[in-house]
Amino acid sequence: MSDYRNIIHQGLWQNNPGLVQLLGLCPLLATSSTMTNALGLGFATMLVLVSTNLVVSLIRSQVPNEIRIPIFVMVIAAVVTAIEQLMQAYTYQLYQSLGIFIPLIVTNCIVIGRAEAFASKNPLLPSIVDGLMMGLGFTLVLFLLGTCRELLGQGTLFDGAEALFGPWATVLRVEVFKTESHFLLAILPPGAFMVLGFLIAAKNAVDARQKSRQVQTAGITRARVTHVASNETSAG
Amino acid sequence: MSFRIASSPHHHSQQHTSVLMQKVILACLPGIACQVYFFGYGVLLQLVLAIITAWASEALVLRLRQKPVLPRLKDHSAMLTAVLLAVSIPAFAPWWIIVLGTAFAIIIVKQLYGGLGHNLFNPAMAAYVFLLVSFPQQMTSWLPPLTLQAQQQQVLDPVCAVFTDFSCAGYSLTQLKTDIDGMTMATPLDTLKTDLSTGKTISESLQQPVFDSIGGLGWNYVNLAFLIGGLWLLQQKVIQWRIPLAVLGSLGLCSLIGYLIDPDLHASPLFHLLSGGTMLAAFFIATDPVSASTTLRGRLYYGALIGLLIYLIRSFGGFPDAVAFAVMLANLAVPLIDYYSRPRTYGHKPKGSY
């Protein structure tokens, strides 16, 4: 069980694809201009990750080591094609606004990275969990980035959510503040780089704070041990 | 009697950072005065807002970084950044433009890279690009010189415009930009670009009221004033001649080539040298010791690159003036320039000769 907990921790925090591995930056920065686009691409990537990890883990003993990479790429390409067709069928608006970035999931380094580094060496269930958690970690970062950029850029939340969730989702749209001059930088790619930089800095700051707290607690336990020891000696 | 034994160099330059910065700010004064004379005192308002914001954001970040605040504020570098940004944005731009821009310059471009001496880009120009990209409409709302404005500027108009977006009588900026004949007026460089795109020749475009015999009305005096300030800086040895000369020389040469090829489509060298922010860029912005090249030969390359880029973007790019983009691109090239222009170490043979 602790094994799965480790996988979850790795995917969501310790080894987060968006904040630590910095893989898949191209879609991360290009499609995170609104929350809806970010969520759409995040879900698609997550689905691809789970499916490819599943397939790769199943065939891992049959694949000759020398040609494993081309085979993984073919698996990924097949899965991405299927998902692209699905998105075209069910979320056509989102499919149009994400454009080239759906087929480009094939080239997303996280997908091939997890297939090579994890799924090709681990049994089925851990591989699926790993794909799910890596995908979720990526989606969360995308979602956060999309939230910041949409809020800064146009002052709204969930603008155009109906493209992803269907017509009922228009109620999700929140206009936080109204502005005549949009803050264009947040919507343009340089803004994405800056916001991502701040997110990474925030994550590092949280890690550093945790580390300093751990050191402190370690100091306290040592003090208690010596105290107990001195008690014993006095009793003895 | 005791002798103090110190190693070389024995001759020190007595100019500290704060003195240098003070001198650069002083040298800006003629240019600022000229802007006030031609465009109203809005620029002074922008200056005050910018300096207050710069001090506040510098103090805030230094506090967060747990560094001493006062010694850093006293070196006047934040104030210089604020001054350079304030003179480059339109005098009637709304107050939040300059506040956002200055905070961006100090917090993100300067302090996040490690503070004074560590910034990759010139903070004022990076902030200018940031503002121009984010708020193109406000950043291009330059008013024509006072003499051409249809509405007589009232005493409180700059205050009203900066804080409410409207003049005290309730005219919007677009209305204020309109001349007596109901034509909207832009800056000289902008007018020239628009006219060329509609098929007019340079000499036809120069008939417009925003031009006088040499270049943009008012703008050429502003540029001359910055030139005077820059020459004083040279005389005071605050800056060296290489970068300004390279910028002006390269811009002049490029525009001369264009002018000789077709004077109907390319403005004269004198027009280029006295338009927009040329002099400000050559003497005050490109010479920033932190983000410019550090080798002697490199400074020539760096300045020439800025001049070339200014000419290329002005003539063929999408924006009317190009100083900020040119300086930022050249800043990016500085590590490369420095690497290839390292001076020969004394006693070593030049590279490649055996």
Interface A-B: count of C-beta contacts within 8 A = 16
A211-220 tens-digit pLDDT: 888 877 655 5
Both tokens of B235, joined, read 């005389």
A187 and B CB contact within 8 Å: no
Among B37, B134, B31, B120, residue whose Cα is nearest residue B83? B31
Does B354 score more than 60 pLDDT?
Answer: no
Does B262 score more than 90 pLDDT?
Answer: no
pLDDT level of residue B70 (50, 70, 90 thresholds): confident
pLDDT in the model for residue A231? 46
- In angstroms, the Cα distances linking A179 to A153, A155, B103, B167, B179 are 10, 7, 20, 20, 29
Supply the DSSP symbol for A174.
E
Both tokens of B60, joined, read 């805030």
Nearest to B135 among A181, A190, A194 (CB): A181
pLDDT in the model for residue A17? 85
A42-75 tens-digit pLDDT: 999 999 999 999 999 999 999 998 999 999 999 9
HSE-CB for A129 with a 13 A CA cutoff: 15
Give the pLDDT mean for B137-143.
Answer: 80
- What are the phi and psi torsion angles at A157 (to 5°)? -130, 145
pLDDT in the model for residue B246? 95
Does A234 score more than 50 pLDDT?
Answer: no
Quick one: what percent of chain A has pLDDT higher than 70? 90
Q: Do B133 and A194 touch (CB under 8 A)?
A: no
Does A133 score more than 60 pLDDT?
Answer: yes
- In angstroms, the Cα distances linking A125 to A12, A53, A149, A191, B344 are 18, 10, 36, 39, 63
Cα A75 to the center of its chain, rounded Å? 21
pTM of the model: 0.84
Q: Residue written as tokens 């339109």?
A: B90
- What size, in residues, is chain B? 354
- Say how far apart CA B104 and CA B124 lie, in whole Å: 9
- Say how far apart CA B105 and CA B99 lie, in whole Å: 10
Does B16 score more than 70 pLDDT?
Answer: yes
A183 and B CB contact within 8 Å: yes
Q: What angle do helix axes B219-235 and B17-39 make, rounded to 10 degrees?
A: 160
Among A93-97, B267-271, B327-331, which range has the highest average pLDDT?
B327-331
Which sequence spans correspond to the domains of chain A? 2-206
- Minimal Cα distance from A179: which residue of B? B135
Does A233 score more than 70 pLDDT?
Answer: no
Other Cβ atoms less than 10 A from the Cβ of B24: the count is 25
Pairing of strands A156-157, A174-175: antiparallel
- Say how far apart CA B47 and CA B45 lie, in whole Å: 5
A59-116 tens-digit pLDDT: 999 999 899 999 999 999 999 999 999 989 988 888 888 888 888 888 888 899 899 9
Which sequence spans correspond to the domains of chain B? 16-176, 186-213+238-337
pLDDT in the model for residue A53? 94
Q: Do B138 and A181 touch (CB under 8 A)?
A: yes
- Say how far apart CA B170 and CA B76 lie, in whole Å: 38
Compute the mean pLDDT over every residue in chain B, rounded to the nearest whole number.
85
Q: Do A185 and B134 touch (CB under 8 A)?
A: yes
Other Cβ atoms less than 10 A from the Cβ of B69: the count is 15
More confident residue, A167 or A77: A77
Give the pLDDT mean for B58-81.
Answer: 89
ipTM of the complex: 0.77
Does A189 score more than 80 pLDDT?
Answer: yes
- Say how far apart CA B268 and CA B110 lie, in whole Å: 37
Min Cα distance A215 → chain B (Å) is 22
Among A35, A38, A33, A25, residue whose Cα is nearest residue A182? A33
Cα A31 to the center of its chain, rounded Å? 13
B173-183 tens-digit pLDDT: 666 666 656 66
Nearest to B137 among A181, A190, A194 (CB): A181
List % helix, strand, coil for chain A (3-state, nearest 5). Answer: 80, 0, 20
Does A235 score more than 70 pLDDT?
Answer: no
pLDDT in the model for residue A220? 56
